[in-house]
Amino acid sequence: MSTNNIRRSKDLRGLWPWLPLWTVVVLLAIFSHGPMPLYSTRTLAVAWEMWQGHHWLVPYINGEPYSEKVPLLFWLIHAGWFVFGVGDGWPRMLEVMFGVVQMVLLWVLARRLFPGRPWAAGVVPWMAMALAYAFFFGLQIMYEVLLVDCVLGALLCLTPKTGRAEPRWLLFGLLIGAGLLTKGPVMLLHIVFPWLLGPLWNEWARDNRSRWYTRGGLSILLGLAMLLAWAIPAGFSGGDAYRHRLFFTQTAGRVVNGVQTDQKLQSHPRWFGWYFISLPLLLFPFSAWPRAWVALATLRKPLDAGVRFALCWLVPTFIVFSIVSGKQWYYLLPEMSGAMLLLAGAMAVLRERNNAFAENYWLGTWLIGLGSIAFAGFLFAMPYLVADRHLHGLWFDGVSAYSRTFSIAFLLMGCLLLLPMRGETRRLSIAGLFGVLALNTLFTLTVWHRYDLSPTSALLANAESTHHPIAIEGNYEGEFHFAGRLTQPITELRDGHALQAFAEAHPDGLVVTHPEKVEASAQRYALLIQPFRSSWVVVWSAQTLANLRTGHTPTEPPQPPQVFPAATDSQYGSQP
């Protein structure tokens, strides 16, 4: 066997067993229930409107150009639909494939950054697959997992490899362009600091500063040119208002709170320290692992190139994202991979330099194990607590039906983490991975029906097919368009005057409302009632709802409202 074949065989063995294990678990989780409102359903709605309207340049939602997103993910969804037909199976498979690429890229990046510490490279993917929040968000049909692939791929281009120290500048620029077409200018924030601070971690950058910055700058210009190659024709195609939002107010409205826009912007403004106080959740279960904190606290110079790389990436990027007004947990998804690189490097150093800390049982996973056992006890006791009315609410009432069965899984995971065995990091990763799978399965069995908008979508699809106009009170997030394969916009009603005007213009129309409680009038006159999250979705005849709002008695409907799932009268009057 040739040297190349031997090396390739060794590389493939390095993917076993973590990659097949992670892939199987993700497939089970992502196909256990339908697309999640509102993240996945909104993405699918945009892809569907582009598809059925043949809008290949400009994303659309509810009949209007959608300046919030750039089109690469939608194009990839369309590519699968051309082959397999329209459905939600291909978009979900895309997310799984993005996740596989992410894990492999992270593994390769760790091997490049820690060539002298193979343990660090081997353990990084195990750690990444245990991150609870990253796992759950990776089940959504969203842009961030593809963005992580672009970020990791671009950063991988900057790292030296055997036989080649200079970065692959052309590929670096192409991947920046792909990231810009996935999520917009925020891509640059994820990659700019490892490049700007390159001489601090990359020996080639120290010796060739001029070429490093010149060629890196040209690569960034290449990426921006790719974005502009789409944005300029899209701006002219979408119209003046769309062009203004696309080039000016979208980015400004997220960076600075209070920027005025001509339509509602998903900017999510939050205070400066919001990300910092969220770190324990974002990095769980490692945030509850004492050895991880000790490993980070005991890092001393000289630092490995991989540790320096992770610090150059994470610290300034985290500060800038904290300064930016718009904040969501998933904005930091690429940096969670960087955090695992940093932690793996720190753990490898701890194992080599301080064996006492590396093997001390009280710095191990016992705390997480006790937490898992305590959670198992809580799940086991939940039916009693619900029956005695000590616990009440959407989650408790639903979950209690299966909580005892799932308590066994968390008891076993807790015992696994309490045992003083070798392979502590992998045991923690396996427990974390199967823990999130168990929670996702429990959610599917007990609470998913409160997120499944299929009944309402089917009713609206039938109404549209018979030419009944549709409206919704408040803001519409595209949650019905893909499931119902709707082809016409849904009118947004902002106040009572808009409702009356819609009912007068379209007496045969339908109106969707989102009440916190279901009133007696809905039980008598509505067309459909179904729970949604912690509130309800109610579909009305527009004329009936307008009459009720003005104090008039509507005509008695020919049949009572459809209720999904079957609910008792006692449920209607209280918040679910």
H-assigned helices in 239-304: 240-244, 250-255, 274-282, 290-297
Q: Which of 535, 543, 483, 474 is nearest to 87 (CA)?
A: 483
Residues 61 and 106 in one domain: yes
State residue 392's pLDDT score. Answer: 84
Question: What letter represents residue 21's amino acid?
Answer: L
State residue 29's pLDDT score. Answer: 96
Query: With DSSP H G I counted as helix, E B as strand and the rest as coil, what are the percentages for the chain, rounded to 5?
Result: 65, 5, 30
Provide the domain limits for residue 441.
Answer: 364-450
The stretch 245-268 carries a mean pLDDT of 62
Secondary structure in 3-state letters for 99-167: HHHHHHHHHHHHHHHCCCCHHHHHHHHHHHCCCHHHHHHHCCCCCHHHHHHHHHHHHHHHCCECCECCC
Band of pLDDT at residue 571, cut at 50, 70 and 90:
very low
Band of pLDDT at residue 567, cut at 50, 70 and 90:
very low
State residue 421's pLDDT score. Answer: 78
Per-residue model confidence as pLDDT tens digits over 322-354: 999 889 999 999 999 999 999 999 999 999 888
Per-residue model confidence as pLDDT tens digits over 390-421: 888 878 988 999 999 999 999 999 999 998 87
The stretch 544-560 carries a mean pLDDT of 92
State residue 186's pLDDT score. Answer: 95
The answer to whether 158 touches 198, Cβ cutoff 8 Å, is: yes
Tally the domains of the chain.
3
Per-residue model confidence as pLDDT tens digits over 380-398: 999 999 998 888 887 898 8
Q: Is residue 239 part of a domain?
A: yes
Per-residue model confidence as pLDDT tens digits over 34-88: 999 989 999 999 999 999 999 999 999 999 999 999 999 999 999 999 999 999 9
How many whole angstroms separate alpha carbon 173 and alpha carbon 215? 10
State yes or no: pLDDT of 433 exceeds 60: yes
Residues 143 and 157 in one domain: yes
The answer to whether 72 touches 178, Cβ cutoff 8 Å, is: yes
The DSSP element (H or E) to which 539 belongs, if any, is strand 535-541
Residues 235 and 368 in one domain: no
Per-residue model confidence as pLDDT tens digits over 223-234: 999 999 999 999
Q: Of 450, 482, 506, at which residue does a domain stop?
A: 450
The answer to whether 331 touches 142, Cβ cutoff 8 Å, is: no
State yes or no: pLDDT of 1 exceeds 70: no
Residues 420 and 482 in one domain: no
State yes or no: pLDDT of 281 exceeds 60: yes
Band of pLDDT at residue 320, cut at 50, 70 and 90:
very high
- CA quadruple 125, 130, 134, 138: dihedral, nearest 10: 80
Per-residue model confidence as pLDDT tens digits over 202-219: 999 999 999 999 999 999
Q: Is residue 218 part of a domain?
A: yes
Q: Of 428, 450, 472, at which residue does a domain stop?
A: 450
State residue 566's pLDDT score. Answer: 57
The stretch 354-368 carries a mean pLDDT of 90
Q: Is residue 260 part of a domain?
A: no
State yes or no: pLDDT of 253 exceeds 70: no
The answer to whether 171 touches 213, Cβ cutoff 8 Å, is: no
Q: Is residue 262 part of a domain?
A: no
How many whole angstroms separate alpha carbon 557 and alpha carbon 361? 69
Residues 325 and 431 in one domain: no
State residue 356's pLDDT score. Answer: 85
State yes or no: pLDDT of 259 exceeds 60: no
Residue with tokens 């697959």: 129
Among 370-374, 455-459, 559-563, whose mean pLDDT is lowest? 559-563
Band of pLDDT at residue 518, cut at 50, 70 and 90:
very high
Residues 442 and 489 in one domain: no
In three-state secondary structure terms, 94 is: helix
State residue 394's pLDDT score. Answer: 79
State yes or no: pLDDT of 572 exceeds 70: no
Among 47-51, 211-215, 251-255, 481-485, whose mean pLDDT is lowest? 251-255
The mean of the pLDDT values for the chain is 92
State yes or no: pLDDT of 565 exceeds 90: no
Residues 538 and 557 in one domain: yes
Q: Is residue 422 part of a domain?
A: yes
State residue 388's pLDDT score. Answer: 86
Residues 436 and 459 in one domain: no
Q: Is residue 574 part of a domain?
A: no
Q: Of 329, 361, 393, at which residue does a domain stop?
A: 361
State residue 568's pLDDT score. Answer: 40
Q: Is residue 264 part of a domain?
A: no
Residues 61 and 195 in one domain: yes
Q: Is residue 571 part of a domain?
A: no
Among 189-203, 226-240, 255-269, 342-356, whose mean pLDDT is lowest? 255-269
Residues 182 and 281 in one domain: yes
